[in-house]
Amino acid sequence: MLTETTLTAAERAAIDSVPTGLYIGGQWRGTSGTLPVTDPATGQLLCEVADAEPGAGLDALAAADQAQAEWARTPPRQRSDILMDAHRELLADTERLALIMTLEMGKPLAEARGEIAYAAEFFRWFAEEAVRLDGGYLPAPAGGSRFLVTRQPVGPSLLITPWNFPLAMGTRKIGPALAAGCTCVVKPAEQTPLSMLALADILARVGVPAGVVNVITTSDPSAVMTPLILDSRSRKLSFTGSTAVGKVLLEQCARTVMRTSMELGGNAPFIVFDDANLDEAVEGAVAAKMRNIGQACTAANRIFVQRNVAEEFASRLAARLAALPMGRGTEPGVVVGPLIDAAAVAKVESLVADAVGRGATVRTGGAAVDGPGNFYPATVLTGVPDEAEMCHTEIFGPVAAIGTFTTEAEVVVRANDTPYGLVGYVFTENLRRGLRVCEALETGMVGLNQGVVSNPAAPFGGVKESGLGREGGLTGIDEFLETKYIGVRL
């Protein structure tokens, strides 16, 4: 039996403001069972939300299917205006939404506010794209006819979002779906359902028609989502999560040849050459490693530093990370909040122990904190060998694993020696070298002299086992559109 956490009046008001039912066909409905939502800083109960069973999932899909034709006929300008209203509403509601996010996920309030702004920008970006869906008109090469090319919404879309960015990963999927004219069923992560439920409430207030966006929360995602994936009414799946789960979903989608977008795991290399601006490289490493307490698929997972600057870089980074205040995300000045759950702490502990056992040295941190909550301090390890387990799996915690290299050719080979290919980071003042290495890295994105690459106006996605398709940017809406060719005889 979970103990209910003690909240301030403002915190309790924020939690109580969130509807806790399933949002299906424009109505909130309860369920026979409930799903507990806990505070990772205390391990105690925040509230309980509806726990959907398979029948409720199918009801949500039926609502999306019923609303699809009318939403597809809705003028693009009207869809755009609704998304712009949602953008403004999110920004106006930043403080409440940020507090909800911090309480259920753990990230510091400053980061949560940043995510609200990031999430809102996806609505603005795709509001602008909704009215710019293009096509084509051209003569047949042999003459006698014309080719008309138009684009139409894919149809009802299943959107599965992760716990680490519980609002932004929702708007990054919902924004292009609605802009393209697709209805959707959204399944947020069971650890962090409140941000998505709050978003559903906002979308209803700004005029998204009933059935266009449906939200189902569940403790049994496989039982609820598998029937939807296998249902011929579902025409698109967009998933953000682990590669292992993504592979299972791809197999299921193959049965109905469903369109898919997959944003999966990462193993990002962070490369620092000896001609880099070390001040910028250290700050870039802090950003790339510590964003979201290290719980991001874009986090720097393997840090490679050219040998003759490795010690200076490591010393500076250790000093920076050691100075970061740790605590509950609602506390002033906190930078390192709790990890999502006890299993996450245990994983980080195991990875650090493995690296140390293989010869790595702890420069700061390196041990979990006693007491309530899922806390692990910012940690720097040096001398991490490529054979260490953390070099082959996402750490998903605040651990900077540093190794050294000698030559450009060597580090490119080592950086690419992974089945993943989401993002990489390169720090050098030599433009030619920077471009060479960026082009040689087998990743979908690269940050050159910067530690953050995510931007709603840029295409986000990876190669190899890091995923399929792109979210954001000019191509983000394409994932929700089918191209139709019409031949016209003259």
pLDDT of residue 4: 67
From the candidates 104, 115, 121, 263, which is the catalytic residue? 263
Residue 297 falls in the annotated catalytic set: yes
Record the pTM. 0.97
Per-residue pLDDT of the chain (490 residues; tens, 9 = 90+): 566 668 999 999 999 999 999 999 999 999 999 999 999 999 999 999 999 999 999 999 999 999 999 999 999 999 999 999 999 999 999 999 999 999 999 999 999 999 999 999 999 999 999 999 999 999 999 999 999 999 999 999 999 999 999 999 999 999 999 999 999 999 999 999 999 999 999 999 999 999 999 999 999 999 999 999 999 999 999 999 999 999 999 999 999 999 999 999 999 999 999 999 999 999 999 999 999 999 999 999 999 999 999 999 999 999 999 999 999 999 999 999 999 999 999 999 999 999 999 999 999 999 998 989 999 999 999 999 999 999 999 999 999 999 999 999 999 999 999 999 999 999 999 999 999 999 999 999 999 999 999 999 999 999 999 999 999 999 999 999 999 999 999 9
pLDDT of residue 6: 82
From the candidates 182, 297, 391, 438, which is the catalytic residue? 297
List phi, psi (to 5°) of 182: -100, 140
pLDDT of residue 55: 96
Residue 184 falls in the annotated catalytic set: no
Three-state secondary structure string covering the chain? CCCECCCCHHHHHHHHCCCCCEEECCEEECCCCEEEEEECCCCEEEEEEECCCHHHHHHHHHHHHHHHHHHHHCCHHHHHHHHHHHHHHHHHCHHHHHHHHHHHHCCCHHHHHHHHHHHHHHHHHHHHHHCCCCCEEEECCCCCEEEEEEEEECCCEEEECCCCCCCHHHHHHHHHHHHHCCCEEEECCCCCCHHHHHHHHHHHHCCCCCCCEEECCCCCHHHHHHHHHCCCCCCEEEEECCHHHHHHHHHHHHCCCCEEEEECCCCEEEEECCCCCHHHHHHHHHHHHHHHHHCCCCCEEEEEEEHHHHHHHHHHHHHHHHCCCECCCCCCCCCECCCCCHHHHHHHHHHHHHHHHCCCEEEECCCCCCCCCCCCCCEEEECCCCCCHHHCCCCCCCEEEEEEECCHHHHHHHHCCCCEECEEEEECCCHHHHHHHHHHCCCCEEEECCCCCCCCCCCECCEECCEECCECCCCHHHHHEEEEEEEEEC
